[in-house]
Amino acid sequence: MLEADVAIVGAGPVGLTLAIDLAWRGRSVVVVETRERGEPPNVKCNHVAARSMEQFRRLGVAARLRDAGLPADYPNDVVFRTSVTGIELSRIHIPARATRYSDTSGPDGWWQTPEPPHRINQIYLEPILFAHAEAQPGVTIRNRCEATGLAQGEDGVSVVARDLDSGAELRVRSRFLVGCDGGRSMVRKAIGAAFAGTPVIQRVQSTYIRAPRLLGMIPGERAWSCYAANPRRSGVCFAIDGCQNWLVHNHLMPDEEDFEAIDRDASIRHILGVGPDFDYEILSKEDWIGRRLVAERFRSGRVFICGDAAHLWVPYAGYGMNAGIADALNLSWHLASHLAGWASAAVLDAYESERLPITEQVSRFAMDHALQMIKARAAVPPRIEEPGPEGDAIRAAQGRASYELNVQQFCCAGLNFGYFYDRSPLIAYDGEAQPAYSMGGFTASTVPGCRAPHFRLADGSSLYDAFGPDYTLLRLDPSLDVAPLADAAKARAVPLRLLDVARRAAPAPYQHALVLCRADQHVAWRGNAVPANLLSLVDRLCGAAPAGAS
């Protein structure tokens, strides 16, 4: 029998992030995972969002992630072509990792963040997260163990797992259990949280290939991702190692329902723009169905679900894993604050109240985008490859349209920074509505529930680097006496760090003298003076405010 504060089923990117953050917060964790230690995941996710990188920075793993993946000088651009080796129509400039912090010329160059996004495949990302998690005191990872059932009582949960090599039974007893066990989640099924939504949006016949000659055949500058569209096939090709390994997605048309009925080899050649003499080797077949499925709830008692276990959607904007990482970090803080004793059990209700509405919104953005892409693929101009001025004009129009449609998903500022929590029991709302956001756009704001806009402190360092692990009170007016608020927090044992910031350093959205930020940088409260009823504010922060109180 193993014991821990929190047991986690699944050591994918979401389970590993949860384990790392809980350990960072001083909690003990046992993770059970069916895969062997070091066994790579499927070659799926390629984009780690700025918001995830910001959190990986706090957890001390961002630099290692940034240094991995494509070669340092490999452009992270997205290019639109008639085929991978064909004519270039347009390009979204996204800097290579070597210049990622200094090159602000691309459409995401204006982002106010200490950690811009990173393009790295899951096969490189996960081993780094695994090594980091494994090295944390308090984290035990049991590989080759399959969780098969769970039972919960008043004080805790026990999960039963089977050692896949010896067949022996393993029991893990913990205060809380989190299912990060992917789309087929045993934990979700065990708590009876059904998926609802749209089960099929798009089928993609996906193949991971080794093609050493391809890079040399691509005209012009390299790109991380190439969208290829011609009258024969439409697809995407991702550079995986920046040398010889590529992931080729063949987007099937709505009437192509059987993966096996589609000629994989011919499709790959149409997308790459190569003839029958071109050699490539299939490393793996990765066919997948884009869906929009969200669990009806994310919790039952002491058991929670995060990541793909709680939601699946078509990976436009590269946000499936990133949304799961945001789930994990949100839940980790709530669990750790409760386990530390300063937050009531009611704080745990915030996980679903905060994350479920965001999941619904983001999953719909991704689905809407997928539907627009399906429409665009059905309308590829038949003469797009025609030489001469008429062909040029068709390609120019197609290039503009592709850029406009896709820049919002590859530079998805709204998904990173625009989402807000508008119905959290932990946030003291002040009546001002949070500004609406879209996939690509948002308005920076300090309205409670929004992400506190990032800026550089007077010494040039990142605002977020100065945040405390729990709550941080930003004081923009040094003459304000905040001792009563600090005392009230102390009386309830709520960890609160005071951070004085020069008003001139803060951007325009900071209109208030005091802005109280949470561990995840979302604003919990703001004002121009400490509130009269201090204990009621502090009670809200630790989940002890009476239900319905505002």
| CB nearer ligand FAD, residue 13 or residue 69 | 13
| CB nearer ligand FAD, residue 147 or residue 463 | 147
The stretches of 481-533 forming alpha helices (DSSP H) are 483-491
| CB nearer ligand FAD, residue 305 or residue 473 | 305
Shortest distance (Å) from residue 375 CB to ligand FAD: 20
Q: Which two tokens stand for residue 161?
A: 């797992």
| CB nearer ligand FAD, residue 158 or residue 536 | 158
Tell which phi-psi region holds residue 166, choosing left (phi > 0), alpha (psi between -120 and 50) or beta. alpha
DSSP 8-state assignment for residue 384: T
Q: What is the number of the residue whose Cβ is closest to ligand FAD?
A: 12
Residue type, 414: G
| CB nearer ligand FAD, residue 39 or residue 73 | 39
What is the phi/psi pair of residue 401, to 5°? -65, -40
Residue 405 exposed, middle or buried by CB count within 10 Å (0-12, 13-18, 19+)? middle
How far apart (Å, rounded) are the C-alpha atoms in residues 489 and 498?
11
Contact 178, 332 (CB under 8 A): no
Beta strands per DSSP E along 299-395: 299-300, 303-305, 311-313
| CB nearer ligand FAD, residue 303 or residue 523 | 303
| CB nearer ligand FAD, residue 119 or residue 475 | 119
| CB nearer ligand FAD, residue 14 or residue 537 | 14
Give CA separation, 381 vs 52, 226, 228, 394, in Å: 38, 18, 13, 7
| CB nearer ligand FAD, residue 46 or residue 337 | 46
Closest CA to 43 of 126, 124, 122, 130: 122
Shortest distance (Å) from residue 106 CB to ligand FAD: 18
Contact 201, 370 (CB under 8 A): yes
Q: Which two tokens stand for residue 498?
A: 């005071």
| CB nearer ligand FAD, residue 43 or residue 523 | 43
Shortest distance (Å) from residue 62 CB to ligand FAD: 16
Shortest distance (Å) from residue 326 CB to ligand FAD: 10
> For residue 520, what is the enclosing H or E element?
none
Closest CA to 222 of 240, 210, 206, 234: 240
Residue 156 CA, chain-centre distance (Å), reads 29
Give CA separation, 331 vs 85, 347, 401, 517, in Å: 45, 10, 40, 17
Shortest distance (Å) from residue 55 CB to ligand FAD: 13
Shortest distance (Å) from residue 203 CB to ligand FAD: 12
| CB nearer ligand FAD, residue 327 or residue 539 | 327
Q: Which two tokens stand for residue 256?
A: 């192509």
Contact 121, 57 (CB under 8 A): no
How far apart (Å, rounded) are the C-alpha atoms in residues 504 and 478?
13
Q: Which two tokens stand for residue 302?
A: 């002491």
Shortest distance (Å) from residue 205 CB to ligand FAD: 11
| CB nearer ligand FAD, residue 146 or residue 385 | 146
Shortest distance (Å) from residue 530 CB to ligand FAD: 40
Shortest distance (Å) from residue 374 CB to ligand FAD: 16
Shortest distance (Å) from residue 384 CB to ligand FAD: 25
Shortest distance (Å) from residue 180 CB to ligand FAD: 5
Written as one string, the DSSP assignment of 422-434 is SS-TT----SPPP
How far apart (Å, rounded) are the C-alpha atoms in residues 496 and 472?
6
How far apart (Å, rounded) are the C-alpha atoms in residues 66 and 18?
20
Give CA separation, 304 vs 179, 197, 481, in Å: 6, 20, 40
Q: Which two tokens stand for residue 180?
A: 């990060």
**Residues in contact with ligand FAD by the rule CB under 6 A:** 9-15, 32-35, 41, 44-47, 122, 146-147, 180-182, 186, 206, 288, 307-309, 315, 318-322, 324
| CB nearer ligand FAD, residue 48 or residue 452 | 48
Closest CA to 429 of 525, 498, 533: 525
Shortest distance (Å) from residue 323 CB to ligand FAD: 7
Q: Which two tokens stand for residue 177?
A: 């259990």
Shortest distance (Å) from residue 231 CB to ligand FAD: 24
Could you tell me the sign of the dihedral formed by the alpha carbons of 92, 455, 366, 125, in that order? positive
